[in-house]
Each structure stands twice: as C-alpha cells, then as structure tokens.
Structure 1
Amino acid sequence: MKAKLGEEFRPYIMLGTCNAHFAWRALLAEDKVGALLPCNVIVTETAPGTGEVAAADPVTAMGIIANPRLTAISEDVQQLLQEVIVEL
C-alpha cells in the first residue's frame, strides 16, 4: 500500500497458497470455481511481537456452489489448512 498509495499499514503479508493438485480437482468438479478459490493466507502483526495468521474457510467459500464433489475437496483443503495453522 505504501508503494502504490502512499499509505502506511502495519506489517501485513498476503501469501498465495493455491495448491495445483486441489485446484485441478476443483476445476474438474466445477469449471467456474477458479473465481472463488480461497488461495490467500494472511500473516499480520497485531501488536509488537505478536502475529496472526488467517485464511478463508474453504468449506464456507465453496459452499455457495451446490456440488458434493466440490464440498469433499474443500473439506480436504480445510483439514490441511487447519493443520498448517496449528503448527505455526
């Protein structure tokens, strides 16, 4: 934001975390899903020396599409995201 808008903001990083394997499975289940894939994880400083990691819940994000195959894939992704965030 500083470089493009000249605005200051606390340390904030957006990580692109799309997994090609899961994205491919999702595209095979629903070809328009690319517009909805929750592929970002944010890491931000909430106070000096204290951080927070956040990600969209893939089950909720994919829930707007009534497709059981997509639901199963998003549940797999949800489990992996939870495991990664717990380890941080």
Structure 2
Amino acid sequence: MYGVSTKVSTGFDETIERVTQALKEEGFGVLSDIDVAKTLNSKLGVDQPPYRILGACNPEFAHQAITAEPDIGALLPCNVVVRVDDEGDVRVLFMNPLTVLELVDNPQVPELAAKVRERLDRVMKAIK
C-alpha cells in the first residue's frame, strides 16, 4: 500500500491546521502546499471538492537520506493529502515511506524509512 489514510471528524480547514501542527510537533515542516482543487478550477474550469497536497519534510531525516542516497530527492518530500471525499468526509492520506523507499537499493534507507513512518503514525494518531 503506497499510502496510509484516515477519516477525520474535523472540517477541511481545521484539518489542514491540525495536520500542519502535528507534523511540526514531529519535526516536519510543510515546504509546499498545492491546492489541487483551485488549480484544476482555474486551469480546466473543473469543480472538485477541496483537495490539498502538503509537501512535508523533516530536515534531519532528509539530510540522512540524501547523504545515504543522493538521488533520493526524487522521492522527497513526504506528501500528505487532505481532501473531501464524495460523501463529504474529510480524509487525510500520508505517503507510506516504507513502500516508496523500497524502490531504493540501499541498506541504510529502510531503517530511515521506518523512523519516518513511526513519526507519521504519531501524526495520524494526533489528528484523529
């Protein structure tokens, strides 16, 4: 499974704030914030429920990963999706670093991916 998701009971904007704060508490910053719904509307005239992609990065882990595997930047940052589904529920999806980083043939990377996954699991628990 390439991602781990959960349905939350908070509204969309509040969820963005809670996810951002929980990431911060685990040492991640949000480097990018892509408003997919807004972009699709302005570029294609398509109406879509709210959908944002937050590019989260933990500088310590990013440095370790790039030191171990310089080309790993193609897989960074960790994407976090906050979206409203067809039923109107807010969902949060985290990229699963264990699955994605299996693409890298470097023995140092799986241990690092496991540490990142532990922190993202704590973020998931904090936003429920």
TM-score (norm 1): 0.90
Aligned residue among 19, 22, 25 for 2:58? 19
- Does residue 1:65 correspond to 2:104, yes or no? yes
CA RMSD of aligned residues (A): 1.2
| 1:10 corresponds to | 49
Query: How big is each residue's C-alpha offset from its partner over 1:9-57, in whole Å with a ceiling of 9 and x where there is no partner?
Result: 1111111111221111100010100012252100111233x21100111
| 1:54 corresponds to | 93
Q: Percent identity?
A: 36
* 1:37–1:61 contact (8 Å) kept in structure 2: no
Q: Number of residue pairs matched? A: 87
Q: What 5-or-longer segments of structure 2 have no aligned partner?
A: 1-39
| 2:80 corresponds to | 41
| 1:77 corresponds to | 116
Structure 1 residue matching 2:109: 3-state secondary structure = helix
**Whose strand fraction is larger, Structure 1's or Structure 2's?**
2
Q: Which runs of 4+ in 1 moved over 2 A?
A: none
The structure with higher relative contact order (CA 8 Å, sep 6+) is: 2
Q: What 5-or-longer segments of structure 1 have no aligned partner?
A: none
Query: How big is each residue's C-alpha offset from its partner over 1:40-83, in whole Å with a ceiling of 9 and x where there is no partner?
Result: 100111233x2110011101101111212111111100011111
